[in-house]
């Protein structure tokens, strides 16, 4: 298995809702990432997990809450989002270390109404 699987593919949520994005990989990668991408912009890093521990939080608002329950799974919990949070959310994984590239999932298109 050489894929990163993200669910759901599309999500519409109200500003008072709570929802979660899920990301899964079975490549044995021990680093996992959340990126946010707005239209016609490059992806922006949000969070990094290394060996299931949060190693980087790029000053992301607390309405985004990441979780890494095990080495294969990464969640992003969403609560009280704003319309400007609408974007494509991308999950990625890699081996820990300097020589490795990243594998990205197909993303979750989030719309906040």
Partner 1 sequence: KQEVTQIPAALSVPEGENLVLNCSFTDSAIYNLQWFRQDPGKGLTSLLLIQSSQREQTSGRLNASLDKSSGRSTLYIAASQPGDSATYLCAVKLTYNTDKLIFGTGTRLQVFP
Binding region for partner 1 (CB under 8 A): 4, 6, 31, 40, 42-43, 45, 48, 50, 55-56, 88, 90, 92, 97-99, 101-107, 109
User: Which residues, in sequence order, are CB contacts of 62 under 8 Å at separation 6+?
Assistant: none
Q: Minimum distance from CB of 47 to partner 1 (Å)?
A: 10
Q: Would you say 81 or 87 has its CB closer to partner 1?
A: 87
Q: Minimum distance between the CB of residue 16 and partner 1, rounded to whole angstroms?
A: 26
CB of 7 to partner 1, least distance (A): 13
Kindly tell me which of 78 and 91 has the beta carbon lying closer to partner 1: 91
Element containing residue 102 per DSSP (H, E): none
DSSP annotation of 84 reads G
Q: Least distance to partner 1 from the beta carbon of 62, Å?
A: 21
Task: Using alpha carbons, list the distances in angstroms from residue 53 to 42, 106, 110.
Answer: 26, 24, 25
- C-beta of 60 vs 88, nearer to partner 1: 88
DSSP 10-70: EEEE-TT-EEEEEEEE-S---EEEEEEE-TTS--EEEEEEETTEEEEE-S--TTEEEEEEE
């Amino acid at each position: 298995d050489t894929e990163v699987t993200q669910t759901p593919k599309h999500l519409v949520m109200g500003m008072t809702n709570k929802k979660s994005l899920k990301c899964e990989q079975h490549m044995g990668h021990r680093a996992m990432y959340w990126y946010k991408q707005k239209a016609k912009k490059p992806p922006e890093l949000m969070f990094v997990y290394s060996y299931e521990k949060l190693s980087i939080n790029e000053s992301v608002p607390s309405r985004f809450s990441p979780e890494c329950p095990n080495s294969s799974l990464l969640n992003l919990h969403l609560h009280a989002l704003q319309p400007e949070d609408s974007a494509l959310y991308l999950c990625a994984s890699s081996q820990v270390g300097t020589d490795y590239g990243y594998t990205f999932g197909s993303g979750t298109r989030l719309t906040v109404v």
